[in-house]
Structures are given as structure tokens and as C-alpha cells.
Amino acid sequence: MTKKIVITGCTKGLGRALVDEFLALGHTVIGCGRNPEAILDLRFGGHGASSFDVVDVTESKKVELWADRMLTQHGAPDLLINNAGLLTPPAPLWRQNPADVARLFQVNLVGVVHVIQGFVPAMIERGSGVVVNLSSGWGRSVSGEFAPYCASKWGVEGLTRALAEELPAPLAAVPLSPGVIDTAMLRQCYADGAADYPKPEAWAKVAAPYLLQLGRKDNGLALTVPGF
């Protein structure tokens, strides 16, 4: 059965890998990202009913307008994946750039709220759907020099578990750690050591089917993509 899937941060890394895999499986993807060139590439990729737009999730009004347009065009999504995220350069907390930290929280946490507020009321009205907010291993543990990122992902965990208590059955909300994958973000953390980990494309072949089978049985559970 074809599903409608919303993905934020769809132009690179895990988001783009998921887009490609979901499209290959025949699903409709409604994606957003901040890179205009990458969005144009997706738009002109011949992906049928799928839609891709330049949207900054930190801008609540723009997210609202985008969500309204997508709901009119596609209806409520079956799966909503909050994937957009940032990482500040590694440094002790007292040396972190305040503007970078503020931006990180706006994308990693506040942006998740904006997208949920844009799409979830329609999912509730229809009576079905799953919200997946991408967390991290650092949303359940910590690492020095990455305090803002850890804090934002701990926030995603708490926000998602609280949302899970609010959603009526059979809807579900899941905080999902993707595991450790060789992305540009991981290279900020591990430098060349990131190459020892699986590529996003290999991850998505496991992650996409896993995401598609999530449901009320998983509501509020802190999950990790198997094998990663």
C-alpha cells in the first residue's frame, strides 16, 4: 500500500537517503530542506506525485503555510519524520558560539514543534499516522564538547514521549535513534574515523522498511534502527 511520508531535512545525509529509498519502494514523499539546488534536483527527478519545497523549519509561519498547502494537495501523511538537524563545532560549552547554539536549538527542537503543529492535527482528524522524531545516541547519553547537540536530542526524547501520551489511539509518536552512520555530521565528530561506519544508502535500506512498520505498539518507545 502506497503511503504519504513527510520528511524534513530531505536534501542530504539520512534525509536524502530515506527519500531515495521511499521513492524506490513506490511511496509518495513530501519533503523540505533549505538547499534550493538540491530541492530543484528532487523536483525535476520525475518522482510522480511527490513534492519537494524549500522550507526552513525554524520559521513557524512558513512551516504553517507549507503544511497547509501539502495537506490540501496530498491529505494527512501516514508517516511524519522530523529529520532536520544541526551540530555545532566541537568545543567546551563555555566556548560555544551563542548564535550557533541558538540556531541549533531552533532547528533540532523548535523546528520539530513547528512541523508537528503543522501536520499532526490533520493526522488526528483522519484517525491514523505515526510521528517519528529523529533523536541520537547522544539523546540518551552525553559526550563532552557536544553539549548543545546532546541537550537538543535529550529534548527531542522528552518532547516525543510527552507527545506519545497526548496522541489518541491509534496514532503513535516515536523518538528514534538512527544509529551511527557515515554522514557529514558524523565527520564533524569523528573526522576520518566516520568512514568506518555504514553509508546512509545502506542504512536507508534497513531504516525505511523499519519506519514503515512502526505503529501504536511502539508509541512512546525510545527505539534505534536495528543493526546500527
Give the number of residues written for the chain: 228
Distance CA 41, CA 23 (A): 14
What nine digits make up the cell of 187? 565527520
Q: Which of 149, 190, 197, 210 is catalytic?
A: 149
What nine digits make up the cell of 159? 518532547
Distance CA 67, CA 73 (A): 10
Number of CB atoms found within 10 A of residue 52's CB: 23
**Is residue 149 annotated as part of the catalytic site, yes or no?**
yes
Amino acid type, 141: S
Distance CA 128, CA 52 (A): 23
Number of CB atoms found within 10 A of residue 113's CB: 15
Active site members: 149
